[in-house]
Amino acid sequence: MGKQKPSTVVFLFQSALLWSCVPVVYSFLPVYLDKSGFRESHIGILLALGPLMSIILQPFIGILADRSPYKNTFLILLNAGTLISILLFPLHNGLLHVALASFLLASFQAALISVSEAITLEGLDRIQKPYGPVRLAGTAGYAVVSVIAGFFMEKDIRSIFYLTAFMAFFSILSAWSLPRVEGHQSRTRRVPVTDIFKNRELVLLMTFSMVAHMGISFYQNFFPLYFAFIGGTSDILGILYFISGISEVPFLLYADQIEKKLGIHKTLAFSMGVVGVRFLLLFIIRCPVLMYPVMLLNGLTYIVFSFSLAVHINRTVPLELRATGQTIHGMSMALGRILGSVLGGFLIEAIGLMKALLVIALFSLSAIAMFAAVNTRIGKAHTRS
């Protein structure tokens, strides 16, 4: 772990390598499971292990990171465990083996991104550099590796694991080179975790993020199945994921200006609207060629919630609880993902894939009205006090 003066370059490399590893695995894992003969409900449950372990482990890892001498230690250990877990998948495609590999991967990746963001945001604060370009490097890494993975998977479905394990190895090296970031509760002062939940606005934003990730998770987990259903192939899927990745670029370039103009509440509400509209388009279009423009909408969904709340937490949560705050938000996203994954699998089996798309679209759009109503009540209560 470097003692040198912090440089933006090390953060750029870490972001690019981190986002070209685990997120790519989870993007293509539904295809691997489907081609291995698993049922939709089994796929939903296996994919839900990631969010489930995030719910169970993430807050504890965040607390331990905040209380450790250096948060970097946890980042390196989580990266190493992730590498080992990925390499277990291609050894066997039996249900129990895949479940074990999924469980281990889920455990190590539970707080991986949250801890990385806590270190990155605090490190960038020291040198007064914006987070947008660094997160953009992650988007670029994801986009490029997705295309490569898509083409390799057409030849050998297991190649996705070897490719991402290769990226994970270099992610470990880049994590080691990051400037050290202390766990600020490792000293005498202790700030209770409950202080985070006293901020009602933050609790509302995290809850809304959880609901949004129900739809986002359903899309991420079952879009590969939808694409195959309408006649798409894995190599084209890789290109679509590339488009999906680069679609985040405009938001990341102008994120600060967007939030200053709209505010975080309107920004997130707009993003949720895009989530709903995307499901409506998938329900209506059903044509592989027309998926190219639809993928551009991805740049206004997950990244908006992930980036906006990561920055908001870094600005509003006490220094001693920043890693904990990031992991609690990660836990709320994970809860949304597990609900979207498990319920989505059963919903598809109950009413079919196409009708499920329509149901999720209406659910996502109706959530905006609920968010606005609760936000108004909190605002009025704050004004009275």
Structure tokens at 235: 């190599």
Structure tokens at 340: 């979207």
What domain range includes position 326?
8-180+192-384
| Within a domain: 1 | no
| Within a domain: 309 | yes
**Nearest by Cα to 229 from 282, 280, 155:** 282
344 in Cβ contact with 223 (< 8 Å): no
Give backbone dihedrals phi and psi of 302, rounded to 5 degrees, phi first: -55, -45
Residues 86, 91, 96: CA angle, nearest 5 degrees: 85
| Within a domain: 367 | yes
121 in Cβ contact with 313 (< 8 Å): no
Which stretches in the chain have pLDDT values below 50?
2-4
pLDDT of residue 2: 46
329 in Cβ contact with 206 (< 8 Å): yes
| Within a domain: 59 | yes
Burial class (CB in 10 A: 0-12, 13-18, 19+), 352: exposed
Helices 159-177 and 22-35, interaxial angle, to 10°?
170
Structure tokens at 217: 């998770």
CA–CA gap between residue 327 and residue 323 (Å, rounded): 6
pLDDT of residue 384: 65
CA–CA gap between residue 283 and residue 301 (Å, rounded): 18
**Nearest by Cα to 181 from 369, 14, 351:** 14
pLDDT of residue 42: 83
pLDDT tens for each residue of 181-196? 877 665 656 778 888 8
Instruction: Indicate the number of domains in the chain.
Output: 1
DSSP letters spanning 323-351: HHHHHHHHHHHHHHHHHHHHHHHHHHHHH
CA–CA gap between residue 330 and residue 63 (Å, rounded): 13
| Within a domain: 240 | yes
pLDDT of residue 383: 66
| Within a domain: 227 | yes
**Nearest by Cα to 317 from 307, 305, 308, 326:** 326
For position 164, which CATH number holds?
A: 1.20.1250.20
- Phi-psi bin for 181: left (phi > 0), alpha (psi -120 to 50), beta? beta
| Within a domain: 332 | yes
pLDDT tens for each residue of 14-52? 999 998 887 777 778 888 888 888 887 788 788 778 778
Adjacent-strand bridge partners of 80: none
Helices 200-229 and 353-384, interaxial angle, to 10°?
170
pLDDT of residue 3: 46
Give backbone dihedrals phi and psi of 273, rounded to 5 degrees, phi first: -60, -40
| Within a domain: 60 | yes
97 in Cβ contact with 46 (< 8 Å): no
- pTM for the whole thing? 0.77
CA–CA gap between residue 237 and residue 91 (Å, rounded): 24
